[in-house]
Amino acid sequence: MNPNTLVLIPAYNEGKRIVQVIEGVKRYLPGTDVLVIDDGSRDDTRLMARSTGANVISHPFNLGYGAALQTGYQYALIKGYDEIVQIDGDGQHDPSFIPDLLNAIRKGEADIAIGSRFLDSQEGTSDLPLYQASFVRRLGMKFFGRIASLVIHQKVTDPTSGYQAMNRKVIEWVSSDKFPYDYPDADVIIMLHRAGFRIKEVPVRMFQSEEKKSMHSGLKPIYYVFKMILSIGVTMMRK
């Protein structure tokens, strides 16, 4: 019997891309429920998502990436889903790697599988193209990846990846008030490890956003760095 799976897509002003993203998901997970969290979009994201048959929950105004995710987590918890696949609505995540993420969960290799755009390309063991990020963003990824690696005693190559799969136990945890509402990145990886969950990175392909933007990167790099360091510090002080 196949697990009861939900594909969660947070989206903000992605009316031009959301249909293509949902169609890609359905190509690799036919018949699976899709939920789009329209995070206060000012365009036709909601209408375009609904036109594909996906379920849509709309925030009255933009609450942020983390809040959009937790709305989806709580929906999955209430509806009794066994697992979630989380994929962004901007088209950066290649949906053909969804089965790889789910396999890591279903085989019992991990409680949460995180898609890494850098994993095999760093080790030279894959034909996946190297993801081209700006120098500043790549530096931030390496910095927080190094911190997360040291804390959890496991190599973390892509701490900002929003391409993930998780089992029911993780769904229950991220639906709680422990989950950050703004930038759920390296701090959440550390939180999950300290909560006893098994984490595994899986090689995936990601594309550059057409408009060079990302919900996941935050509003300002300086604020992001400050907030993430503060969040990691608070995480380390928690029991």
CATH of residue 215's domain is 3.90.550.10
How many domains are there within the chain? Answer: 1
Helix 186-194 vs helix 221-237: crossing angle, to nearest 10: 10
| Sequence-ordered list of residues with C-beta below 8 angstroms from that of 225, at least 6 positions apart, any chain | 140
Residue 44 to residue 132: CA distance in whole angstroms: 29
Element (H, E) at 145: helix 135-152
- Phi, psi for residue 201 in degrees, rounded to 5: -90, 140
Q: Going residue by residue through the chain (239 aa), what tens digit of pLDDT does each one get?
A: 467 999 999 999 999 999 999 999 999 999 999 999 999 999 999 999 999 999 999 999 999 999 999 999 999 999 999 999 999 999 999 999 999 999 999 999 999 999 999 887 444 445 556 666 665 677 777 888 899 999 999 999 999 999 999 999 999 999 988 777 666 788 899 999 999 999 999 999 998 765 545 444 444 667 677 677 777 777 677 66
Instruction: Sheet with 83-86: list strands edge to edge.
Output: 55-58, 33-38, 5-11, 83-86, 164-167, 112-116, 199-203
User: Whole domain around residue 148: which residue ranges?
Assistant: 5-237
DSSP annotation of 95 reads G
